[in-house]
Structure 1
Amino acid sequence: MSRAGERIATDRPAPAHSAVDAPTALAIEISNLKKSYGLKPVLRNIQLALPQGQRMALLGANGAGKTTLLRILAGLSKAGSGTVCLNGLDSRYELQEIRQQIGFVAHQPYLYEELTVLENLLFFGQLYGVKQARERANALLQRVGMERRAKERIRVLSRGQVQRVAWARALLHSPQILLLDEPDTGLDQDGNDLVAALLAEHSARGGSMLFTTHNLERALAWSDQLVILASGRVVYQHDAATLSLEELQQRYREVVK
């Protein structure tokens, strides 16, 4: 498949930004994105841009469209209209390449319950073409505190333990972009501390991320940009560094009905 910026004879439209003329390289670029289920609009003309190496928190009440947006970015759901580009790759044409660059953590762990912890990681390692997959899998299991559970089937683990394995799966292929739908689901305080450390390590390597959370304090601490969705629309966006928790709480109450 062609990459954004290459000059190849094709009838596909040019990407919205090329590597030559774009002032800032974007990890995520969403333009005029709409999505409906039947006659019910879920996302309404979403416009968002996340520069490479930055972190964006996506906030909003249940049903605001956050999970739908992340599923579209992860290639698990199709947009109704509009464009989605990740690292310059257009999801309409280069979805397989995009999947190589993203790690996705959500409520559903995307693990096989009848396989062991290690078998799951080896399967996904093969799927993503990870070199020295066993060594990489063992290192990640140790990092998330699950090395002693490597030979146990997923179905016998607690919710928090499954979430730790899901994190190992998401990080297995060293993705450039993390898409996280309430990544601390089912985790205790040690698990939350682990997530914070993993995100800090990802950012230190120059990685980008978009995540949802209902914890406003955590959103402020973990992000560079804050975005609030309401009824499928972006109703608020602000730099996290210039916003206090009290200001965020007040604005959230104002725009989320």
Structure 2
Amino acid sequence: MIQIKKLIKQADTKLILRGIDLSIEKGETVAILGPNGAGKSTLLKVIATLIKPTSGEVRINGFDLKKNGTDIKKLMGYLPHSSLLYEHYSPLENLVFFGNLYGVQDVEQKAIKLVKDVGLSFFLKEPVKNFSRGMIQRTAIARAIIHDPELLLLDEPHTGLDQGAISILNDVIISMKKKGATTLMVTHDFKQAADICDRIIIVKSGKIVDDFKITENQIDYVSKKYLEHTEGEL
């Protein structure tokens, strides 16, 4: 699904990504861990076609990132730190708008179902500007999957969420996995990574320093491996 070779990203004189080699198979749920400034979000943004690599090769589902950016965007759902929602629109209006961009069939019915799935049925037509952080994130989760993406990219998705929203997000990720989707998630939350991911990548100083598979709920193992490489860095 994702093939990355010798990926380098430089900003001015600073090397952010230093020769990343990474292969992710279709259907994998992968967490990217690492201290602040390690290059995690930069790697995700390169894959999301939001920033251009300085050099190296990135292929998504056979498409070349440099040549087929539009085709790649159609395959993915992206949940960054910001919601990307229109605050004066309701959840229904937002989902219909984004669904139409992707040519989703029966988009209104699908949007209503997704709003229900994320626990916001009573707020279906309420402007997003009136929502709490957790409610906005729930709506953003629905936005990211309105078109049933083959690749889901999540940047610190659990940050600031209440337990209900965390459970909904995890259910979404597991449900997408059952449909064959690939998920790549940047996170500092070891528990969530251990609960829902089957593979962990640890990034430090722009390089992958570890890459291993886990079984469910191996949080102690994940923590131990992380500390081996980061020496307690956040």
Greater Cα shift, 111-120 or 207-216 = 111-120
Counterpart of 1:196?
170
Greater Cα shift, 131-140 or 213-222 = 213-222
Of residues 184, 191, 194, the one that matches 1:220 is 194
In the alignment, is residue 80 of structure 1 matched against residue 26 of structure 2? Answer: no
Q: Which runs of 4+ in 1 moved over 6 A?
A: none
State the TM-score, normalized to the length of structure 2: 0.94
> One-letter code of the match for 1:99?
K
Greater Cα shift, 146-155 or 54-63 = 146-155
For 1:22-171, what aligned pairs fall within 5 Å after superposition? Answer: 27-171=1-145
Q: What's the RMSD between the two structures over aligned residues?
A: 1.5
Structure 2 unaligned segments of length 5 or more: list them.
none
Identity %: 38
> One-letter code of the match for 1:164?
R
Report the secondary structure of 1:100's partner residue. Answer: helix
Residues of 2 paired with 1:62 and 1:239: CA distance? 23
- Report the CA distance between 1:134 and its aligned residue: 0.7
> One-letter code of the match for 1:135?
Q
Are the equivalent residues in 1 in contact too, given 2:191–2:217 (CA < 8 A)? no
Residues of 2 paired with 1:53 and 1:119: CA distance? 30
Greater Cα shift, 147-156 or 132-141 = 147-156
- Report the CA distance between 1:221 and its aligned residue: 2.2
Are the equivalent residues in 1 in contact too, given 2:195–2:216 (CA < 8 A)? no
Counterpart of 1:12?
none
Counterpart of 1:173?
147
- Report the CA distance between 1:114 and its aligned residue: 2.2
Distance 1:223 1:242, change over 3 A: closer
Aligned length: 231
State the TM-score, normalized to the length of structure 1: 0.86
Counterpart of 2:220?
246
Are the equivalent residues in 2 in contact too, given 1:163–1:186 (CA < 8 A)? no
Counterpart of 1:3?
none
| Structure whose alpha-carbon radius of gyration is higher | 1
